[in-house]
Structure 1
Amino acid sequence: MIDQEFPPTIENVGKKKTLSWKAFNDFPLFVEQSSQFPKQGKLGNCYWIAPLVAVYAAKPQQIKSLFQSHDSDFTTVRFCIDGDWQEITVDHHFPYNEEKQKVAYSKLVDGALWAMILEKAWAKLYGSYQQICAGFNRTTFKVLTGAPTNKFRTRDPNFKEIIYEIGALHFPVGANSKKQQIDNVFATNHAYSILKIDEDQIIVRNPWGIKNRDQHTLTFEEFKLRFASIECCYHFDGYQYQSEKVTSDVLEPVYFEIEIKAPGNYFFTVNQKNKRWFRNKPHLKYVISPCQIQIIYGDTILNQQQHQSNKEVWINWNFKRPCKIYIICQIEWQNIVVNEFIFNTYGPDFNQKRVQEIIKSNEDINDLGYIQFLQRDSEKEQEEEEKSNQIQQVEIQQQENEQVISPPPQQKERKSCGQCTIY
């Protein structure tokens, strides 16, 4: 059976016109007690595979929950797309290298299909496998969990306290290697998964999955020497997720009433469209617009925040007791054709509804709670990283067919990640 919306054609592969397609209909979705992690194939998507491994290592049940139905011909998965959970159905035909007799992109995991299916669903969403080359780790974390992500740079003076606190909370974490390395052991400008953070020991994994050399155990100082930043996904088991699509005018206030039913951490996010939707539409000149979110309790503003240009602008509050709050969202739209965003709440137990106005009252804010997680990553920083990689991206396409690992006995890892450059 073939998915007519995304059939096995050369156009849906992209530039790799030498590849064919092969059906994998008689393979299991998961294998119990699997000892393998997904491996990146000849596709520039380390930003996808590394976070996928990080989530699977820390929260395997979250990955399994993405699968809604599965039979020998089709599988349906759910992704959080730009803040909205959506279902995507794919068949079991995958790009195949006839010459090497192996799957071209993400590989079977102990003979199971799940990683290949997730990658194909992501490719179908954007039109081809080629369209999912290069991206942000935080995008993948959001797609797989719905939870917000934060970036921390290893040069930050309090980074040691940050990374060990994250390790104690067992969140999924990815790491971005530096643009220069002292040897060929680690790839430059490449996404890695963090599998474990324990005392003075950090275990990282290269998504290339090179046999016997894909995992590295580092001390804290060795990690700082090799990596520029980490990205932490604030995924909590059992949390609820509710979203609503909103169309607004420039700086038009949009109000939401949130009834907090149980104590705990709550995240409120404005999600704008992914730039990937506009890769083939440069004439639209799509940009991320500045956004502001405020939490109102009674007649008190709980947070003071300037407008941020970020695809996901979120705020967090750790509530100590049940209460009712209001959220005000404003976007300074800078696009002619796009003025739509998705607002979502993520937390233990709540009701969310859009309202026309705020009902103010004199409420006692004592022991209400506090901000626990503070958003640090900015679109400006990401734009700077993106611009710095443009020249390298041109070189990547020229070297597309030359990315190979040196043969034994002097086998070394590829020094550069190639076309999966993070930006």
Structure 2
Amino acid sequence: MIRRTLSTLFPPHVRESGEPPLGPRADRYEAWSGVLNFSRRPRQGALGDCWLMAPMLAIHSVDPEFFANAIKVQPGSSKALARVFVEGAPAWRSVNMRFPVNERGRFAYATEEGGGPGWPGILEKACAAEFSGSYAWIARGFAKWGFPALTGVSASTRLVLPSPGELEDLLAQKRPVVASTHMFSTALSRGRQSGAIPPMHVMAVAGAKPDTGEIVLRNPWRPGAWVTLNRREFRRAFLSVDVLDQPLGRSREGS
């Protein structure tokens, strides 16, 4: 479903498993040889692919070890195998360990929080090659596409925003949730001590507090920071949420 949907939006392309064409704010590829640390949260870089990175962060918040089963790296190898899902079926893709950097030589796109590209960079590169053929063309999409690409499980969009109690129940069931802001969210969130909520952005729902009516989110640009909203702020700043249709599991470990 995801490839079919994307193909209606993106122009024809030649899929490259090695190095997809660069996107914005990237100057060249450079090799990375660090050690993967799956305990580190994924961090979105200069690429506008929050539709992919927010679901990645939401999944990691629910089960930090989930992605340890999605990447295989041989010690000393210059390549990794990354698992993505195409039409619900696992597809392992070879990814070389070279990643986009900006003109200053800093890694431009997805990274492990506080580290190099790591496992998020590998997965982002595999998705760029598999679903759009380039980094530039993966910088657009809807959050409900990110979940099936990463888990093989579909997601549903809810325009009626869940209550804090409902969100707490969903997360307890290991059903990751992301929330999408709208174009006016910055104006509506002015004056908040923790800053404005970015417009037209996707954030991971990390928790909920039914007793206080608060929702806790993480921004994929700054995944280490909490953003806490009351129910009124949440309804004013966010347009919809996307929820994984089934509990997140590790039944696909051997896939």
**What's the TM-score once normalised by structure 2's chain length?**
0.78
Of residues 18, 30, 35, the one that matches 1:28 is 35
Change (3 A) 1:238 1:66: closer
Of residues 122, 133, 143, the one that matches 1:137 is 143
Q: Is the 8 A contact 1:94 1:103 kept in 2?
A: yes
Cα distance, 1:215 vs structure 2:
2.5
Of residues 218, 238, 244, the one that matches 1:205 is 218
Separation in 2 of the partners of 1:138 and 1:6?
24
Cα distance, 1:7 vs structure 2:
4.7
Separation in 2 of the partners of 1:15 and 1:206?
20
Q: Is the 8 A contact 1:68 1:77 kept in 2?
A: yes
**Cα-to-partner distance string for 1:194-234 (whole Å, 9 max, x where unaligned):** 11123223111111218x7x431122232222211111112
Of residues 220, 242, 253, the one that matches 1:231 is 242
Separation in 1 of the partners of 2:199 and 2:146?
20
Q: Is the 8 A contact 1:62 1:145 kept in 2?
A: no
Q: How many residue pairs align between the two structures?
A: 226
Q: Aligned runs of 1:123-272 on 2, under 5 Å?
A: 123-125=128-130, 126-154=132-160, 159=163, 162-181=166-185, 182=188, 183=190, 185-199=196-210, 200-209=213-222, 214-233=225-244, 234-239=246-251
The unaligned stretches of length 5 or more in structure 2 are 1-15
Q: Is the 8 A contact 2:51 2:143 kept in 1?
A: yes
Identity of aligned residues (%): 26
Cα distance, 1:86 vs structure 2:
0.6
Separation in 1 of the partners of 2:63 and 2:112?
20
**What is the aligned partner in structure 2 of residue 84 from structure 1?**
89
Separation in 1 of the partners of 2:119 and 2:219?
19
Cα distance, 1:239 vs structure 2:
4.5
Larger C-alpha radius of gyration, 1 or 2?
A: 1
Cα distance, 1:240 vs structure 2:
6.5
Structure 1 position 96 matched with structure 2 position 101? yes
**What is the aligned partner in structure 2 of residue 287 from structure 1?**
none
Q: What SS is found at the alignment partner of 1:171?
A: coil
Q: What SS is found at the alignment partner of 1:193?
A: strand
Change (3 A) 1:159 1:79: same
Cα distance, 1:110 vs structure 2:
3.7
**Cα-to-partner distance string for 1:292-330 (whole Å, 9 max, x where unaligned):** xxxxxxxxxxxxxxxxxxxxxxxxxxxxxxxxxxxxxxx
Separation in 1 of the partners of 2:168 and 2:232?
13
**Cα-to-partner distance string for 1:98-132 (whole Å, 9 max, x where unaligned):** 3x331111123343511111111111213211121
Q: What SS is found at the alignment partner of 1:103?
A: coil
Separation in 1 of the partners of 2:231 and 2:135?
36
RMSD: 2.6
Q: Aligned runs of 1:53-64 on 2, under 5 Å?
A: 53-64=57-68
The unaligned stretches of length 5 or more in structure 1 are 244-423
> Which amino acid is 1:61 matched to?
E
Q: Aligned runs of 1:38-49 on 2, under 5 Å?
A: 38-49=42-53
> Which amino acid is 1:204 matched to?
L
Of residues 66, 71, 74, the one that matches 1:67 is 71
**What is the aligned partner in structure 2 of residue 51 from structure 1?**
55
Of residues 108, 112, 136, the one that matches 2:112 is 108
Normalized per residue, the structure richer in helix is 2
Separation in 1 of the partners of 2:122 and 2:32?
10
Change (3 A) 1:80 1:235: farther
Q: Is the 8 A contact 1:177 1:189 kept in 2?
A: yes
> Which amino acid is 2:35 matched to?
P
